[in-house]
Amino acid sequence: MMNSVPTQADERQRKAVALISGGLDSLLAARVMLEQGIHVEGINFFTGFCVEGHTHAIRKKDRAKPKRNNALWVAEQLGIKLHIVDVIEEYKSVLLNPSHGYGANMNPCLDCKGFMVHKALDWIREHNFDFIITGEVMGQRPMSQRKDTMPVVARESGAGDLLLRPLCAQHLPPTLPEREGWVDRDKLLDFSGRSRKPQMALAAEYGFEDYATPAGGCCFLTDANYSRKLVDMWQARGNREYELDDIMLLKVGRHVRPSPRFKLIIAREEGEVKFLQGYAYRYPTLKVTSHSGPIALLDGTPTQDDVQLAARIVARFSKGRNADQVTVDLHLPGDDQAQQLVVTPMPPEQISESWYI
Amino acid sequence: MANFQLDARRLLCPMPVIRTQDRVAELRTGDELTITCTDPGAAQDIPAWCRLNGHTVLSIEHDGDELMITVQVGTES
Ligand code: SF4
C-alpha cells in the first residue's frame, strides 16, 4: 500500500512511534531514528503474556534483584515517552484464531506482529504522527521476520509503507519516510540473519549496556512449558476462554493434574505462597497445618474423593511427607471456617509423572 | 487540585503502570493520585513512568506488603 504525502511541503519535525518490546532491537531501531532528528515516542503493548516483571515479582529469590520493566528502561535510555497499552482483551482473537497459525509453541507471531503494527497505525492517526518503526531484523525469527513474511506484516496491518524497519531497511523497498527524505536511507542498516553480533556492536557504539536479552522471544507463548499448561487449561475447561488471572497463574507454581476434573497449583516457595494466597477468594485452597508446607489452589470441579486425593498430594510436598498423618485445611472461597482433612501423604511412586503439566 | 485514589493491589507489572497512566490521563495538572499496589516492582516502574512523562512522585510509603505511591500530575499528561 502506498500512502499519500501531505501536499503542503512542511519542514516540521517528523514524528515516529516505535514499537518497544524492551529488547535490544527496538532500543537500537529507535536510537537510529533519534539520530536522524526524528521525534520518537515508544509504544508497548501488554498482551498478558509478555515476559515482564511478573514472575520476578512473584518468586522470593528474585525479589532481591533489582526489578525493572524493560520497556520503561529502554524508554529511559532513549529519553523518550512510553505509552503502555493494555491489549489483553483484543489480543484474545489473535491468539485463538491466528490466520497464519502458530510458531513452535502457542506463539502466533505473524498475526501478533500484524496486530501490533495495526494498533500502532491507529495510534499514529489519532496522535498525528507520521510513521511507525519496529526493531525487526530480516531472518532473525523463524516466523514473523522472514523476507517473505515481513511484507505480510506491512500489508495486513494496513500500515504499508508507513512501516519502517531501520535495522534492516536496506534489504527492503524504500518506505514513505525514506522516499520523502524524512529519513536518510543511506544511514539505515542492513542487518539480517540470526546472529546478534551486529546489534551488540551497535549497542556498544551507542554505549548501551545491561539491556535485556530474553531467550526465545518477547512472550511466554514461545515457551514450551507455558504453552503446554495453556493448552491443558483449555482442554480441561472444554473451551478456550481465559482471563488475565488465568494466564498469570500459569506462570506460577507446580501444576499437577491427577484427573481431567481438576488440577492443583502448588506453591514452590514463599513468594509463590503469598501470590497464590491472593487467589483464595476465587479458588478452594489446601494448606498443610500440622507441618510446614505449601499452599495449593484447586482448579476445576473436584469431587469429595478428588479433594482427599489433592490433600494427600499437597501433604507429599510438605515437611510431613514421611508422617503417618498430616492435617490439611481446606478453605472454600467465601467461607470463614476451614474444613480439616486428616490424610496420609501420597507415596512418591503413586504420583504419576504424567500428572505434572 | 484534588486528591484521588487508585487501587492496584494484586496487579502485577505492568498493570499498575497502565492503570496509573490511564487514570492520570483523566486528571488535571497539579492533581494528586495515590496508587496502592502489592507488586514491589511498582516502586521502580511507576517512578520511571513518571520521569518519562513529566509527573512527580511525591512519596512512596510501605505498609506491610502494600505500597502507596503518591504522584502529582505534571503539565504534559
Ligand atoms: S513472541 Fe509473543 S509477543 Fe513476540 S511476536 Fe511472538 S507472539 Fe507476539
Q: Which of A177, A205, A220 is the last residue of a domain?
A: A220
Number of Cβ within 10 Å of residue A46's Cβ equals 21
Task: Provide the 3-class DSSP secondary structure of residue B77.
Answer: coil
Residues A350 and A290 in one domain: yes
The answer as to whether A130 is a domain residue is yes
Q: Which residues of B touch A83 (CB under 8 A)?
A: 21
CA distance from start to end of chain A: 45
The pLDDT of residue B77: 46
Determine whether B50 is an active site residue.
no
Residue with cell 530474553: A214
In this prediction, residues A317-344 reach a mean pLDDT of 94
Residues A262 and A206 in one domain: no
Residues A214 and A290 in one domain: no
Global confidence as pTM: 0.90
Flag whether residue A60 sits within 8 Å of chain B, measured between CB atoms: no
CA neighbor of A263 nearest in space, from A142, A161, A355 = A355
Strand A131-133 vs strand A163-164: parallel, antiparallel, or unpaired? parallel
- List the domain range (segments joined by +) for residue A136: 15-220
The 10 Å CB-count burial string (b at 16+, else e) for A276-311 is beebbeebbbbbbebbebbbbbbbbebeeebbebbb
Question: CA–CA separation, B67 vs B34, rounded Å?
Answer: 10
**Mean pLDDT, all residues of chain A:** 90
How near does any CA of chain A get to the CA of B11, in Å? 9
The pLDDT of residue A54: 47
pLDDT confidence bin for A193, thresholds 50/70/90: confident
For residue B27 the three cell numbers come to 486528571
CATH code at A213? Answer: 3.40.50.620
The answer as to whether A245 is a domain residue is no
For residue A186 the three cell numbers come to 543511506
pLDDT digits (tens, 9 = 90+) for A216-249: 567 899 999 999 999 999 999 999 999 999 999 9
Residue with cell 485463538: A96
For residue A139 the three cell numbers come to 531472518
The answer as to whether A324 is a domain residue is yes
The pLDDT of residue A56: 52
The answer as to whether A174 is a domain residue is yes
Does this complex have an ipTM over 0.85? yes
Residues A194 and A299 in one domain: no
Residues A101 and A196 in one domain: yes
CA A246 remoteness from chain centre: 14
In this prediction, residues A42-47 reach a mean pLDDT of 96
CA neighbor of B50 nearest in space, from B63, B32, B38, B64 = B32
pLDDT digits (tens, 9 = 90+) for A50-94: 876 545 556 665 555 556 788 999 999 999 999 999 999 999 999
Q: Which of A199, A220, A241 is the last residue of a domain?
A: A220
The catalytic residue among B4, B9, B11, B13 is B13
Number of Cβ within 10 Å of residue B10's Cβ equals 16
The answer as to whether A343 is a domain residue is yes
Point out the ligand 1 atom lying closest to the alpha carbon of residue A112: 8
Flag whether residue A102 sits within 8 Å of chain B, measured between CB atoms: no
Residues A331 and A276 in one domain: yes
From ligand 1's centre to the CA of A187, what distance in Å?
28
Q: Are A311 and A283 in contact (CB under 8 A)?
A: no
pLDDT confidence bin for A148, thresholds 50/70/90: confident
Q: Which of A168, A202, A220 is the last residue of a domain?
A: A220
Domains of chain B plus CATH, in order, are 3-7+15-67 (3.30.110.40)
Q: Is A8 exposed, middle or buried (0-12, 13-18, 19+ CB in 10 A)?
A: exposed
The pLDDT of residue B17: 95
The pLDDT of residue A212: 79
Residues A198 and A274 in one domain: no
Strand partners, A328: A288, A341
Number of Cβ within 10 Å of residue B44's Cβ equals 17
Count of all residues that appear for chain A in the document: 357
Q: How far is CA A81 from CA A44, A76, A279, A336, in A?
A: 11, 8, 34, 47
Q: Which residues of B touch A68 (CB under 8 A)?
A: 41, 44-45, 48
Taking an 8 Å cut-off on Cβ atoms, the answer to whether A54 and B18 are in contact is no
Residues A76 and A174 in one domain: yes
Please name the member of B44, B52, B65 whose beta carbon is closest to the beta carbon of A68. Answer: B44
Q: Return the half-sphere exposure (C-beta side, CA atoms, 13 A cut-off) of residue A138.
A: 19
The pLDDT of residue A17: 98
pLDDT digits (tens, 9 = 90+) for A22-43: 889 999 999 999 999 999 999 9
The pLDDT of residue A215: 55
Residues A311 and A190 in one domain: no
The pLDDT of residue A18: 98
Q: How far is CA A258 from CA A225, A263, A296, in A?
A: 18, 7, 14
In this prediction, residues B13-38 reach a mean pLDDT of 95
The answer as to whether A33 is a domain residue is yes
The pLDDT of residue B47: 96
The answer as to whether A155 is a domain residue is yes
Q: Which residues of A touch B25 (CB under 8 A)?
A: none
Residues A312 and A195 in one domain: no
Number of Cβ within 10 Å of residue A134's Cβ equals 29
Q: Please determine, for residue B66, whether its predicted confidence score (pLDDT) is greater than 70.
A: yes
Chains A, B: CB contacts within 8 A come to 72
Q: Please determine, for residue A282, whether its predicted confidence score (pLDDT) is greater than 60.
A: yes
Q: What is the DSSP letter of A290?
A: S
CA neighbor of A15 nearest in space, from A175, A162, A151, A156 = A162
Residues A211 and A278 in one domain: no
Q: Is the dihedral of CA A143, A145, A147, A150 positive or negative?
A: positive
Residues A216 and A257 in one domain: no
Number of domains forming the structure of chain A: 2
The answer as to whether A10 is a domain residue is no
